[in-house]
């Protein structure tokens, strides 16, 4: 359960931290506060009445406007980058004359673009209007995906995959910022799990679309190759969603067209308990330094690298993995779709279990354990047991639950806008590095079984399990220290400190979610 009421250990030395809190130099933050502070100050002392009924009404309004478009866009985010896997069994390799490990490198090149632009895009997400910049990136990456239908050789495919990664780099950190901006800590875990679960819906949709196009073109013919039709359909759909996103999603509560003036202020007030504010446009070097000194930053970073080696491999080779079980290429398109359903169910159950128990991290390890068992089945079962090995593949699709839990922790547990964007950037840089390595473990010489790759995946997930337990222990320990500090009689709270863009280290009333 949550540690908010846990009694602190008597042996924790807090004098240094208390002195830091009451140091008058912290007042400098009032000169560079969060955007929300201006809205609060404009009330000139007027009381904000936010009762339970009003809070529920606002939450329903926010969910209705924000969640559907975020979910659909995130589903397309997954589908667009994995369309390559569907195309690989629909003639792309032959039409582009891919040789040796060239297909593997196409899988990795997306993440080279993602990696190159991840930190710059996080800075732009902080500096530019959040909703508008995110929408622009969505529209551009959809247009780039359409251009894949015009590719005629390997070098052209390289360029498309690289720039697709550049413009998709904004979606995950941008959505993490939107979630922390609009939702309270207790709401964030379930919302992140919901919109991330649309990766699974993207896999389901992609499998059915690719199968339908493959079967339809085989029966009735087509003026262009089937794999090109897949890129055009998914690209055009993404552009349309980007336009809708631009219209619906505001830059913050303060310019939401679907909220009246009073509700805009109330929407800001309802997230006051987060102790994070809603946004700060100024770059603060000291927060970057703090992020680099925070052990959790590097725990997140190394988790992302290690966990996404399996992700990068399976994402780009899942169709070929299924064909290795003894199924045809067309069957692999169809039989891959239940894996998406497993991911959806795992993430939604994990989100609500974490919200109910206040133990997001521990709940998320269930998906990781399930995935390890699934990959062991793929390795250990005899080749003749196609159904059993296919079920093992489906079980591996529960693996994103810890990754999503840590993503929601960036929303909930990292305060200070510059620090938050820095930690998010490093987390997703680790994600890119793991996904670059991932396709390389599926070596052509190991086909069709890929046993070395499967064993590597089991080891990676085992290490990740220990990392998750370390992160849980660390946050639990820090909450005890914070409780000791705030209970000290000398502790002084700054006025409106939740709007001063303090980091989670500076703000001792900031309680880490577990």
**C-alpha span between 492 and 22 (Å, rounded):** 6
Burial class of residue 400, CB neighbours in 10 A (0-12, 13-18, 19+): buried
Share of the chain above pLDDT 90, in %: 43
pLDDT in the model for residue 374:
93
- The string of pLDDT tens digits covering residues 120-177 is 999 899 889 999 999 999 999 999 999 999 999 999 999 999 999 999 999 999 999 9
In the predicted model, is pLDDT for residue 359 greater than 60?
Answer: yes
pLDDT in the model for residue 470:
96
- Number of residues written out for the chain: 514
Other CB atoms within a 10 A radius of the CB of residue 270 amount to 22
- The string of pLDDT tens digits covering residues 44-73 is 445 566 788 888 999 999 999 999 999 999
Helix (H, G, I), strand (E, B) or coil at 7: coil
Share of the chain above pLDDT 70, in %: 87
- The string of pLDDT tens digits covering residues 226-274 is 888 889 989 999 999 999 999 999 998 888 999 998 888 888 888 877 7
Band the pLDDT of 211: cuts 50, 70, 90: confident
Band the pLDDT of 324: cuts 50, 70, 90: confident
16-22+32-499 under CATH 1.20.1250.20, yes or no: yes
Task: Record the tokens describing residue 447, joined without a space.
Answer: 């086909």
Helix (H, G, I), strand (E, B) or coil at 206: helix
11: CB partners within 8 A, 6+ apart = none
277: CB partners within 8 A, 6+ apart = 33, 34, 35, 36, 37, 417, 498, 499, 500, 501
180: CB partners within 8 A, 6+ apart = 188, 274, 276, 410, 411, 412, 420
**C-alpha span between 456 and 438 (Å, rounded):** 10
pLDDT in the model for residue 63:
96
CA distances from 313 to 16, 142, 258, 259 (A): 48, 24, 42, 44
pLDDT in the model for residue 9:
40
Q: Which is more confidently placed, 500 or 20? A: 500
CA distances from 89 to 103, 284, 341 (A): 12, 48, 22
Sign of CA dihedral 473, 419, 41, 257: negative
**C-alpha span between 428 and 445 (Å, rounded):** 30
Q: Which is more confidently placed, 301 or 205? A: 301
Q: Which is more confidently placed, 317 or 7? A: 317
pLDDT in the model for residue 31:
53
**Over residues 193-206, mean pLDDT:** 88
pLDDT in the model for residue 339:
85
Contact status, residue 204 vs residue 341, Cβ threshold 8 Å: yes
In the predicted model, is pLDDT for residue 14 greater than 80?
Answer: no
Contact status, residue 278 vs residue 62, Cβ threshold 8 Å: no
DSSP state of 95: H
Task: Record the tokens describing residue 420, joined without a space.
Answer: 């938050």
Is the pTM value of this prediction over 0.85?
no
Query: Alpha helix (H) ranges present in 148-256?
Result: 154-168, 171-182, 185-220, 226-248
Helix (H, G, I), strand (E, B) or coil at 90: coil
- The string of pLDDT tens digits covering residues 71-81 is 999 999 888 87
**Over residues 25-30, mean pLDDT:** 50
161: CB partners within 8 A, 6+ apart = 84, 106, 109, 110, 113
**C-alpha span between 337 and 340 (Å, rounded):** 5
DSSP string, 271-315: TGGGSS-S---S--HHHHHHHHH-HHHHHHHHHHHHHHHHHHHHH
**Over residues 310-321, mean pLDDT:** 77
pLDDT in the model for residue 34:
58
**C-alpha span between 8 and 11 (Å, rounded):** 9
Mean pLDDT over each residue of the chain, to the nearest integer = 84
Contact status, residue 499 vs residue 34, Cβ threshold 8 Å: yes
Q: Which is more confidently placed, 18 or 343? A: 343
Other CB atoms within a 10 A radius of the CB of residue 44 amount to 5
**Gap between the terminal Cα atoms of the chain:** 8
In the predicted model, is pLDDT for residue 409 greater than 80?
Answer: yes
Four-point Cα dihedral 455, 461, 464, 466, nearest 10:
-80
DSSP string, 409-459: HHHHH--SHHHHHHHHHHHHHHHHHHHHHGGGGS-GGGTTT-HHHHHHHHH
pLDDT in the model for residue 173:
92
**C-alpha span between 458 and 422 (Å, rounded):** 30
**Over residues 93-108, mean pLDDT:** 83
What residue segments make up the domains of the chain, in order of their start? 16-22+32-499
Task: Record the tokens describing residue 58, joined without a space.
Answer: 């606002």
- The string of pLDDT tens digits covering residues 467-508 is 999 999 999 999 999 999 888 888 877 766 767 778 889 888
- The string of pLDDT tens digits covering residues 372-404 is 999 999 888 888 888 888 899 899 999 999 999
CA distances from 412 to 145, 339, 420 (A): 33, 29, 10
């Amino acid at each position: 359960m949550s540690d908010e009421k846990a009694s602190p250990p008597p042996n924790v030395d807090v004098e240094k931290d208390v002195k830091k809190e009451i140091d008058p130099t912290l007042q400098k933050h009032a000169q560079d506060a969060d955007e929300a502070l201006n809205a609060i100050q404009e009330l000139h002392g007027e009381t904000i009445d936010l009762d339970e009924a009003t809070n529920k009404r606002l939450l329903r309004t926010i969910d209705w406007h924000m969640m559907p478009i975020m979910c659909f866009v995130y589903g397309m985010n997954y589908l667009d980058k994995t369309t390559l896997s569907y195309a690989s069994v629909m003639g792309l390799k032959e039409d582009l004359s891919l040789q040796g490990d060239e297909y593997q490198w196409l899988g990795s090149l997306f993440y080279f673009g993602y990696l190159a632009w991840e930190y710059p895009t996080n800075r732009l997400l902080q500096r530019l209007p959040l909703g508008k910049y995110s929408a622009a990136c969505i529209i551009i990456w959809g247009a780039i995906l359409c251009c894949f239908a015009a590719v005629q050789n390997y070098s052209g495919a390289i360029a498309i995959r690289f720039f697709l990664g550049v413009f998709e780099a904004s979606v995950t950190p941008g959505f993490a910022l939107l979630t922390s901006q609009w939702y309270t800590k207790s709401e964030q875990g379930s919302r992140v799990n919901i919109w991330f679960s649309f990766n699974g819906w993207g896999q389901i949709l992609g499998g059915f679309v690719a199968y339908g196009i493959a079967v339809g073109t085989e029966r009735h013919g087509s003026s262009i190759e089937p794999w090109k039709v897949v890129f055009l359909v998914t690209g055009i759909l993404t552009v349309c969603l980007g336009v809708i996103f631009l219209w619906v999603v505001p830059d913050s509560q303060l310019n939401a067209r679907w909220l009246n003036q009073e509700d805009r202020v109330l929407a800001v007030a309802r997230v006051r308990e987060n102790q994070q504010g809603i946004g700060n446009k100024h770059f603060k070097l000291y927060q970057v330094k703090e992020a680099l000194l925070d052990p959790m930053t590097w725990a997140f970073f190394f988790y992302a690298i290690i966990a996404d080696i399996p992700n990068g491999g399976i994402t780009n080779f899942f169709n070929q993995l299924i064909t290795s079980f003894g199924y045809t290429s067309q069957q692999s398109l169809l039989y891959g779709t239940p894996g998406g359903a497993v991911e959806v169910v795992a993430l939604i159950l994990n989100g609500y279990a974490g919200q109910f128990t206040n133990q997001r991290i521990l709940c998320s390890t269930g998906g990781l354990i399930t995935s390890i068992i699934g990959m062991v089945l793929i390795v250990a079962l005899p080749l003749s047991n196609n159904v059993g090995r296919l079920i093992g593949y489906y079980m591996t699709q529960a693996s994103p639950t810890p990754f999503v839990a840590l993503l929601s922790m960036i929303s909930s547990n990292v305060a200070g806008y510059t620090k938050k964007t820095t930690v998010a950037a490093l987390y997703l840089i680790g994600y890119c590095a793991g996904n670059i390595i991932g396709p390389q473990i599926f070596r052509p010489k190991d086909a069709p079984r890929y046993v070395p790759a499967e064993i590597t995946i089991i080891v990676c997930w085992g290490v990740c399990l220990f990392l998750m337990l370390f992160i849980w222990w660390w946050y639990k320990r820090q909450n005890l220290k914070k409780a000791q500090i705030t209970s000290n009689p000398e502790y002084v709270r700054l006025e409106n400190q939740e709007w001063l863009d303090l980091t989670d280290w500076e703000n001792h009333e900031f309680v880490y979610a577990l």
